[in-house]
Every structure is written in structure tokens, then in C-alpha cells.
Amino acid sequence: MHLGVNIDHVATLRQVRYAGGMDAHNAEPDVLAAAAICERAGAHGITIHLRADRRHIQDADVFRLRAQLATKMNLEMGNTPEILEIALRVKPAEVCLVPENRREVTTEGGLDVAGHFDALRPTVERLHAAGIRVSMFIEPARAQIEASQRLGTEMVELHTGAFANATGEAQHAELARIHEASVFAHGLGLQVNAGHGINYVNIALIRTVPHLVELNIGHSIVARAIFAGLDGAVREMIAAMKA
């Protein structure tokens, strides 16, 4: 299982002080330095979300990271013309299409691929024409997986948020949904990734899901980095994924 580290919240910490003055010589923490540390610690990729409101990652971050990354960039984005044009100029290895709502604190729920099929089709086609692999961030539900496959995407990322927020029996029921979805998507020939709310505790359950190729993890790693350092936090998560 591969780890993509989502470094959005490194940028969040910078923006709370330096929004509007990101070019200041002392604007920190630096997302390029963070990405390099994650890569040296063994991360297989760096994930960033360029949101329409630019609340954390900025356009300049995307271009600078694209030039510097030794691994691959996974760019998360809403399906809007503005962000699509940027993605086509940046040409990340992968794009993950996500739903986006300005009022949300973080991405809530998966993308309704089945419901927005016609709007997503030209976006997927343009990304593919640029040589970019495409993923859909979806609920672990058959209809969404089938719609993603019909769109020709290479991957789906199963939303693990409901699982992460649940406890006890309810959490095991959510885990079963993810398990079933992963088997189904794999059977359709899709690469299966997962993300949202995965932490150092619930990774023990996520690890039991078959066919998962990549996990995208952000908040728990950046939070742990405050105490353990980013290098240690990434290494610890990779060890927990393998344990």
C-alpha cells in the first residue's frame, strides 16, 4: 500500500499568518520543504487540493511543487473551468476530482459521479488528453463506482470519512461497505485508493481492506508532526500501514 501525504494543512498554517503576503521572506512553514521531508521519509506521492477559495494551497505552490517533486503530484480539484485550466497547465501525474462546497471545513461526502456524469465527461477527456491519470473521490457505493468506470477513469478514491467518524458496530458496518466497494471496483479493473479521516488508530482497520493501492492522508500526519516532527510522523504512518 502506498502513502500519498496531503500537505494542505502545512499551507493552512502558513495562510493563517501570511495570507496576502506569501512571498514574504519569512512566510512559513514552507510547503516545498514539507514535501521534500515527506518524500525522504518514504511517501510515494504528495497530494494537494487547490480549492476555489484558495484557503490553503495557492497557485504558486502548485507550480513550484510540480517543478520540485521527486515523487508524483496528486492534485485534488473541484470540476470548475478555472481549476481545470490550471491543472492542464501544471500537468500533475494524477488528478482526483472532488466535490467542493465553499462553506465546508473539509471535503464532505463523495462526488456524485452518477448525478454529474455529463458535466464530468469533458473534464475527464481533457485530463486524459493531457496524459493525466484521473481518480474520482466517491462514497463506497456501487452506482458511483460504475459511473466512474463508465467515464473511463483509472482510479477511484473511496471516501473513508463516515468510517472515521463512526465508532463500535457502526464503524465495522462502514468498514464492511468499504471492503465490498473495494472488491467491486477492483473487479471492474479500477485502481482503488482511499482517504479522509484516516489516522494512526483506524489505519489498523483500513489495512484489512483488500486491493487498496494508495491511501491519501493529511490531517492526522500534519497534526502528529507538531509533536513528532514531519519525518517521524510520515515514517510512523508508513510503518502502521505495513504492520
Active site residues per annotation: 49, 76, 196
The yes or no reply on residue 78 touching ligand PXP (CB under 6 A) is: no
Q: With respect to ligand PXP, which residue has the nearer C-beta, 25 or 101?
A: 101
Shortest distance, position 25 Cβ to ligand PXP, whole Å: 29
- Verify binding: residue 6, ligand PXP, rule CB under 6 A: yes
State which H helix or E strand residue 84 sits in.
helix 81-90
- Radius of gyration (C-alpha) of the chain in whole angstroms: 17
- Residue length, the chain? 243
The 142-181 site mask, x for binding ligand PXP (CB under 6 A), equals ---------------x------------------------
The rounded distance, in Å, linking the Cα atoms of 191 and 149 is 10
The upper half-sphere exposure of residue 11, i.e. CA atoms within 13 Å in the direction of its Cβ, equals 24
Q: How many CB atoms lie within 10 A of CB 71?
A: 17
For ligand PXP, which is the closer residue by CB, 149 or 220? 220
Q: How many residues bind ligand PXP (CB under 6 A)?
A: 19
User: Is 219 an interacting residue with respect to ligand PXP (CB under 6 A)?
Assistant: yes
The answer to whether 107 contacts ligand PXP (rule: CB under 6 A) is: yes
Helices (H), the chain: 8-18, 31-40, 59-68, 81-90, 117-129, 142-151, 161-165, 168-187, 203-206, 219-228, 230-242
Distance CA 171, CA 163 (A): 5
Residue with smaller CB distance to ligand PXP, 107 or 148: 107
Provide φ and ψ at 114, rounded to 5°: -65, -40
* Under rule CB under 6 A, residue 217 binds ligand PXP: yes
Least Å distance, CB 211 to ligand PXP, is: 17
Taking CB under 6 A as the rule, does residue 198 contact ligand PXP? yes
Residues facing residue 195 across a β-bridge: 159, 216
HEC per residue, 162-190: HHHHCCHHHHHHHHHHHHHHHHHHHHCCC
Q: Which of 3, 5, 8, 45 binds ligand PXP (CB under 6 A)?
A: 8
Residue 196 or 224 having the CB closest to ligand PXP: 196
Given candidates 84, 216, 225, 233, which one binds ligand PXP under the rule CB under 6 A?
216
Q: Is 31 in the site for ligand PXP (CB under 6 A)?
A: no
Residue from 78, 92, 140, 197 touching ligand PXP (CB under 6 A): that is 197
Helix, strand, coil in percent for the chain, rounding step 5: 50, 15, 35
> Does position 195 bind ligand PXP by CB under 6 A?
yes
Helix H or strand E encompassing 133:
strand 133-138
- Which residue ranges make up the site for ligand PXP (CB under 6 A)? 6, 8, 49, 76, 96, 98, 106-107, 137, 157, 195-198, 216-220
